[in-house]
């Protein structure tokens, strides 16, 4: 017993050394902030050399090359020789819901039991004490669409800003869309892209054929039942799963359809034609093969990963790098995402940088992780570009944000709040530099 007490007593002093870093959310700033003399990348393709931005009460009030005159009480960021960007947006992710992939179950809350979970809201499970958002902020990622996973209908996703005390503070645009996982129509064995549960995207084993068709019919039947339920004027008993479909059926939400295969995307087109949904494809590795059809049906695409092997044996080895340019050429609204759980999505800007060397211009690649993402998520009136009237979600970098060699974020503002760049990884870096007397 004495030995046990000693261990407990020692653990009380050991815990602070491994506790969550002391990084507090930034308070509101009511004055003016001037970002001066930098190269402004607006996000819509426009670049302003030696430009200035004025922020007042969290909103952008001035953008341009004209001279500005800060007052003595104003906050000034001298960006001479630096680049100024809109805050980057992760269009589909599980941050705040999953702390460590395949890690401690108690730190993960991203999936629910059952097939049809339309009543699940990811925002209420979002963990603002997660260590991941602080790391992402250091790479210029300021907003993220957190999405539930699992089952057939996973639930609704919400856009959060990555500097908050709790999920209520974090909510930037709540319940923007419903997420559906389509079954795989191809039977493949193993592999990172094709391992998983039979009948679902990327599934290995015998997952194609009639079983996939039956699963699609179940999804359509659920949608039809929800449509009939919503059209009824009164209900003797509330069905939470069907009631949760109301915003989607009333066109107040988008339908995020997860799938990479052509057959899956053709089914998404069926959803548009039968139910009139505003559909977004999530994944879309084969979307380049049917870009014109996606454009004709007004379907957007979130490309989950550029740093990847081709999906099919007959694809060019560099096809994942070229797919953004193919969608750009066809006029499809698309954005680039990062779904690599190993790096915890911090390479979003470098995914865009790769696309910029395979057919996109630098500014088109930037739009693919800023303004395009904002349009797909329905928040482009508030953010996604550095324009007057929008929220001041701003990143200042010493070099090119899309280039891992020169990118070095020096300042970030989220809704006008100067936000800390400190994070657990930086603290560990400094800790071990000190330990080994490294400069």
The H or E element containing residue 396 is strand 394-397
Q: How many CB atoms lie within 10 A of CB 278?
A: 18
Helix (H, G, I), strand (E, B) or coil at 294: helix
Whether 78 and 183 map to the same domain: the answer is: no
- Asked if residue 97 belongs to a domain, the reply is yes
Whether 117 and 14 map to the same domain: the answer is: no
| Residue 352 belongs to domain with CATH number | 3.20.20.140
- Asked if residue 344 belongs to a domain, the reply is yes
Who contacts 126 (Cβ-Cβ below 8 Å, separation ≥6)? 96, 97, 146, 158, 160, 167, 170
- Comparing C-alpha atoms, which of 80, 83, 87, 81 is closest to residue 36? 80
Helix (H, G, I), strand (E, B) or coil at 411: strand
Helix (H, G, I), strand (E, B) or coil at 179: strand
- Asked if residue 59 belongs to a domain, the reply is yes
- pLDDT value, residue 8: 41
Whether 95 and 78 map to the same domain: the answer is: no
CA 333 to CA 335: how far, in whole Å?
7
Domain tally for the chain? 2
- Asked if residue 402 belongs to a domain, the reply is no
Whether 231 and 317 map to the same domain: the answer is: yes
CA 218 to CA 387: how far, in whole Å?
45
- pLDDT value, residue 344: 87
- pLDDT value, residue 342: 84
Whether 263 and 374 map to the same domain: the answer is: yes
- The domain of 368 spans 88-191+202-383
Whether 161 and 59 map to the same domain: the answer is: no
Please, what is the end-to-end C-alpha distance for the chain in angstroms? 46
Whether 44 and 177 map to the same domain: the answer is: no
| Residue 22 belongs to domain with CATH number | 2.30.40
Whether 181 and 292 map to the same domain: the answer is: yes
pLDDT, averaged in runs of 10, over the chain (439 residues): 40 40 82 96 97 96 93 93 98 92 76 93 95 94 96 97 96 97 76 41 48 94 96 91 96 97 96 97 96 97 89 88 96 96 91 96 98 98 97 97 95 96 88 90
- pLDDT value, residue 369: 98
Pairing of strands 279-283, 254-259: parallel
- Do 128 and 340 touch, CB atoms closer than 8 A? no
- pLDDT value, residue 15: 36
- pLDDT value, residue 24: 86
Whether 58 and 102 map to the same domain: the answer is: no
Whether 75 and 159 map to the same domain: the answer is: no
Q: CA gyration radius for the chain? A: 23
Longest dimension (CA), the chain: 74
Whether 7 and 114 map to the same domain: the answer is: no
- pLDDT value, residue 109: 85
- Asked if residue 406 belongs to a domain, the reply is no
- Asked if residue 361 belongs to a domain, the reply is yes
Write down the H helix ranges in 183-318: 210-231, 240-243, 246-249, 262-275, 291-296
- Asked if residue 283 belongs to a domain, the reply is yes
- Comparing C-alpha atoms, which of 373, 310, 369, 364 is closest to residue 157? 373
Whether 48 and 150 map to the same domain: the answer is: no
Pairing of strands 32-41, 47-56: antiparallel
- Asked if residue 401 belongs to a domain, the reply is no
């Amino acid at each position: 017993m004495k030995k046990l007490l000693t261990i407990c007593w020692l653990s009380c002093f050991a815990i602070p050394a491994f506790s969550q870093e002391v990084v507090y959310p930034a308070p509101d700033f009511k004055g003016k902030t001037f970002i001066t003399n930098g190269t402004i990348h607006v996000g819509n393709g426009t670049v302003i050399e030696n430009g200035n931005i004025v922020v007042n009460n969290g909103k952008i009030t001035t953008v341009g090359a004209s001279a500005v005159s800060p007052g003595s009480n104003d906050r000034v960021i001298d960006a001479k020789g630096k680049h100024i960007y809109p805050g980057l947006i992760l269009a589909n992710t599980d941050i705040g819901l999953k702390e460590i992939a395949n890690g401690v179950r108690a730190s993960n809350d991203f999936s629910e039991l059952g097939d049809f979970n339309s009543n699940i809201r990811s925002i209420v499970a979002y963990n603002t004490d997660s260590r991941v958002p602080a790391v992402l902020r250091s790479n210029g990622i300021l907003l993220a669409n957190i999405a539930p996973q699992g089952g057939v209908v996973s639930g609704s996703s919400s856009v959060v800003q990555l500097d908050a005390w709790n999920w209520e503070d974090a909510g930037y645009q709540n319940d923007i869309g419903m997420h559906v996982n389509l079954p795989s129509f191809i039977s493949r064995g193993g592999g990172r892209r094709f391992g998983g549960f039979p009948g679902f995207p990327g599934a290995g084993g015998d997952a194609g054929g009639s079983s996939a068709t039956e699963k699609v019919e179940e999804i359509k039947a659920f949608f039809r039942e929800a449509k009939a339920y919503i059209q009824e004027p009164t209900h003797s008993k509330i069905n939470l799963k069907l009631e949760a479909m109301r915003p989607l059926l009333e066109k107040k939400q988008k339908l995020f359809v997860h799938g990479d295969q052509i057959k899956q995307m053709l089914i998404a087109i069926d959803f548009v034609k039968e139910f009139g949904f505003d559909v977004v494809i999530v994944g879309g590795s084969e979307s380049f093969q049917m870009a014109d059809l996606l454009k004709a049906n007004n379907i957007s695409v979130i490309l989950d990963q550029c740093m990847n092997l081709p999906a099919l044996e007959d694809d060019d080895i560099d096809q994942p790098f070229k797919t953004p340019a193919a969608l750009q050429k066809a006029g499809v609204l698309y954005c680039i995402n990062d779904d690599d759980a190993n790096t915890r999505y911090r390479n979003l800007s470098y995914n865009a940088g790769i696309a910029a060397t395979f057919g996109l211009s630098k500014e088109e690649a930037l739009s693919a992780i800023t303004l395009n993402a904002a349009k797909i998520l329905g928040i482009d009136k508030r953010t996604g570009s550095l324009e007057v009237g929008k929220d001041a979600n701003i990143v200042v970098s010493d070099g090119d944000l899309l280039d891992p060699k020169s990118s070095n974020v020096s300042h970030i503002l989220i809704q006008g709040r100067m936000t800390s760049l400190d994070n657990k990884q930086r603290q560990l870096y400094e800790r071990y530099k000190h330990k080994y007397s490294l400069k």
